[in-house]
Structure 1
Amino acid sequence: MTISQARPLLSPEEIAVRAGQQVPHLHMPERFDVFSARENRLRQHAASHAMQDFLVFAAEVAHAQHQALQAYPAVVLPDAEALDAARNTAQAPLPAALWPRDPLWRVALCDMLDKLLPRLANNPAQAVVQELQQMSDQEMELQADRLLNNIMFGLKLSTAPLIAAGLQAYWTHMLLATVAARGDDKLAPFGRIGDSTRCPCCGSLPTASISRVDGEGNYRYLHCSLCSLQWHMVRIKCSHCESTKGIHYHSLQAAGDTTSSNTVSKEAVEVETCDECNHYLKIVRMERDIAVEPVADDLSSVILDLLISEAGYQRHGVNLLLLFGDPETAETGNDGGGG
């Protein structure tokens, strides 16, 4: 395997002008397919992948998330006053670390686990599901707090992806329910916040960015790791420090094999690195593969993380379904792990 650097795209100035005139700031997830599209993409990758068992497990988790989202219980949402206050102060209205979670998120998660368990026959992940089912409400909330605050100390890495899956379904539902409650003024609850590298809805880090071509031009959006909202960020601009200098793109290629179907898929995923701050974030490109899905393609391209990390870059962003961490490390901060 070799890392190759892609040729540069438009200049930052050219893209900034075009984006400022044309591109919508937000791209909303759809209740009917946000998790089902992820499941389908994970199964597609799993068919011939070295991490097949894990990707199939992740696909089953996405299946459970999809089912949960279709009939999610009514939970407490921010009222009009809270939404206005967040907008006026350029803050996220559903902040991951501060939002008082409705206990019904645990009820929805437990239902997800009940439906997930029989689908994992003869899979070692069954034991992890059962471990979480036996966890007390207090411990589950404590684990959720650690996860949402990027605290690795005391976080159970075995059950963290399942708790994260429950939180993702919960936050995605809150995002969609808040939008639905606003009627025709559906994007009003979510505006630009003070930190453009974080989600305008919940303030979370992105998992990856996506180059969209579905009727909105070829523009880059960052994809939230928690609520799946996508927000626009100009291409050739660091998603960590926002510099437009020293930006490079790298892709993974099978050495000596330019005809493999796997090569086509891998080239749809690139790494954007910044020499100014030594951070990176992946970008998935719909113009190269219309079926790309940020979370699924990020999980299936862990080898890129390993190679780029060896080159001295740190990841900006997180994939909550695949966390890495040292149990002795008290906090991961903005560079919290993720595969």
Structure 2
Amino acid sequence: MTTSAPVRTPFSRATTALEVVRDLDLTGRRAVVTGGASGIGVETARALAAAGADVTLAVRDLDAGHRVAAEISGSTGNDRVLVAPLDLADLGAVAAFVRTWDGPLHILVNNAGLMASPELRTGPGWEMQFATNHLGHFALATGLRPALAAAGGARIVSVSSAAHLRSPVVFEDIHFRERPYEPWPAYGQSKTANVLFAVDATRRWADDGILTNALMPGGIRTNLQRYVSDEELDRMRAQSGGGAAAWKTPEQGAATSVLVAASPLLDGVGGRYFEDCQEAGPNQPGTRTGYAAYARDPEAAERLWAVSEAHLRG
């Protein structure tokens, strides 16, 4: 981490992504947003495009991607919104995306995700949430490292969640081969992995000018919750102390991602965890805010990197 003082901004949980970029000019910068065709990915891409960036929506559903790209171009006047295929659960598809990328990359937003799914596995037998939320993004970021280094001052945005408080990475049984599968602990450890990635990527790549931060976007009703019942969502919201007003709009939910991706307030900052457009502190008992100590443990981050590399080697 390159600075010690907590980052404070004039923004809040009510801020929208477009408000974050209102005075920014990202002309000439190139960005990739995974999962850019739905949820907060759409609004993240829209804000970056509105500020002038060239934006590539990396998506599984190309038809949806093209529809969203056309809508973003229409609303922003930026016709440099492109679409490329990417299935994070398929390392071959990730490698294909990396091979086709040409030139520098200034912003990589690791936004796509799978939440609290039933037990699903990839071809190698990996638990699907960990494979999609962490391993796919790990393969993408490490594959694109030369492009990020070539940009000079590149940023990686690692979209995590307060659900990381549910579980550390259980290195002894990441893929639930020995313990009974549980959707929420599986999701939680994948989101912890997103924070740990930010910690070790910054340590490893800061000399290349690449800085990575993690964030909690907030509670937003999107397709991400397709496996979660309304009753479960209501229970979770009650536990967090929030009512209906606790939900953010997608435009508000994307604000912290866009802050981490583009704000000059984060120049030189890496390995941190943000929520509601502010740097968060350690989690306090009985709350659902802040980061768990295990999520920013440098030893765990280094161990996860080694484990992830081993997965990619097969």
TM-score (structure 2 length as normaliser) = 0.32
Greater gyration radius: 1
Structure with the larger helix share: 2
TM-score (structure 1 length as normaliser) = 0.30
